[in-house]
Amino acid sequence: MWYNNILETIGNTPLVKLNRVTKEIKGTVLAKIETTNPGNSIKDRMALKMIEDAEKAGFLKPGGTIIEGTSGNTGMGLAIAAVVKGYKCIFTTTDKQSKEKIDALRAFGAEVIVCPTNVDPEDPRSYYSVSSRLEREVPNAWKANQYDNLSNTQANYEQVGPEIWKQTAGRVTHLVAGVGTGGTLSGAGRFLKEKNPAIKVIGIDPYGSVFKKYKETRIFDKAEIYPYITEGIGEDFLPKNVDFDIIDHFEKVTDKDAALMTREIARKEGIFAGNSSGAVIAGLLQMKERFKEDDLIVVVIHDHGSRYMAKMYNDDWLRERGFLKEERLTAKNILELRERQEIVTIDVGQTVLEAINIIKAHNISQLPVIQQGMVVGKVTESDILENLLDNPALKSSRVEEIMTKPFPFVDLATPVDRISSLISKENFAVMLEDEVGKLEVITQLDIINALSRI
């Protein structure tokens, strides 16, 4: 058996039990893995449905241009369908979206226009307004309008809801997903509630979005709106696809919790999920008191982690935003993890014979050389042996005649990987001063011992 084109592979995504990341949740948690769609996201479903409905209605004609404002995933679904069906694509997106998403859209031949995030939807610079202007200006153009196009909700009603009902044999008790356009929860949720009105439909909303307060008060509060990092969910307006009567509850999740949980899903479940999926699991854990042992909770894994490599899966990006605690081993940690040691030194004016006697007496292999309280060099067993083999009389000479460059100096905050890179055949230790100015030496053995204890 084969498929006639890639569009026929959309849907029928697997349902996978989560085990470690949701261990605090009573009941069973199943993940709907939408990353197996050809565009690696749930948006493939509604993108194709919107195009097919537009074709039937005569809005999208042969050789036409598809216009859309997108955070990336809907654009990907539209672009794939456009390739198969012979349409052009022009997409507008915001400057907060990952570079991987934008590059992926361009890989399918789409034109992508990046617009500022921190402007009102009505602002002519917003990605909503720019896409609407392009629809007016580009000949034979059709704007998909995923936020208000109810084909979005219908696709999820016809596909996602029935799939979940069948895969759980009707046992599903909760459906949890992020809310952006609203189509997933409104469509799948409506189908499931028609089957069983007791099923709870829960939306995950980032701080900075308006959904939660509007659900609870029916007040659209612009004071709730501010920029946020979490991608693909939340909005600063009310899309027609968000059915607040279907969605029972909205749970707010911070950018930090969403970003860090995104990584945890990969590390604990082996599921390479995107940022909004991290928000969903973080929100689920916040609501753990809601669930009972016999509950069967379905969460949606909206898109693939490959679109967030430069963001949520990048340690430097997370550190810059204060999301990732610095946990690397440092020189200070190494000193704290070992027993206190007295560092033996030798003055630059002492003799090589005195250096030999100090090394033997203390059973050590190297000596920092001091001049007026400053480290000016080092002398090692190898230095002594090599020089005495050439000239035995050197044992009565001043140690400065055979000393070599001092060990590299580091500070207490120097990470272990930097310390390790400084240790070599010529420098088998590094030096530093502790918090009270006392001289300390860190060797390769100190690093190994520290690593074995953490």
Other beta carbons within 10 Å of 325: 8
C-alpha–C-alpha distance, residues 130 and 121, integer Å: 10
- Which are the contacts of 222, defined by CB distance < 8 A and separation ≥ 6? 210
C-alpha–C-alpha distance, residues 430 and 75, integer Å: 53
C-alpha–C-alpha distance, residues 308 and 229, integer Å: 12
Strand 200-206 to strand 88-94: parallel, antiparallel, or no bridges (unpaired)?
A: unpaired
- Which are the contacts of 199, defined by CB distance < 8 A and separation ≥ 6? 172, 173, 174, 175, 189, 192, 193
Residue type, 122: E
Angle (deg, nearest 10), helices 151-158 and 183-195: 40
Residue 322 has phi, psi (to 5 degrees) of 75, 20
Q: What is the dihedral of CA 117, 121, 125, 130, to 10 degrees?
A: 110
CA distances from 388 to 365, 370, 401, 403 (A): 16, 22, 12, 13
Active-site residue identified among 43, 143, 193, 215: 43
C-alpha–C-alpha distance, residues 201 and 364, integer Å: 69
C-alpha–C-alpha distance, residues 435 and 443, integer Å: 19
Contact 187, 157 (CB under 8 A): yes
Q: What is the DSSP string of 276-310?
A: HHHHHHHHHHHTGGG--TT-EEEEEE-BBGGGGTT
Contact 378, 404 (CB under 8 A): yes
Contact 255, 229 (CB under 8 A): yes
- Which are the contacts of 384, defined by CB distance < 8 A and separation ≥ 6? 352, 355, 356, 359, 402
Active site annotation includes 222: no
CA angle 399, 373, 449 (to 5 degrees): 80
C-alpha–C-alpha distance, residues 55 and 331, integer Å: 65
C-alpha–C-alpha distance, residues 211 and 190, integer Å: 18
Residues marked as catalytic: 43
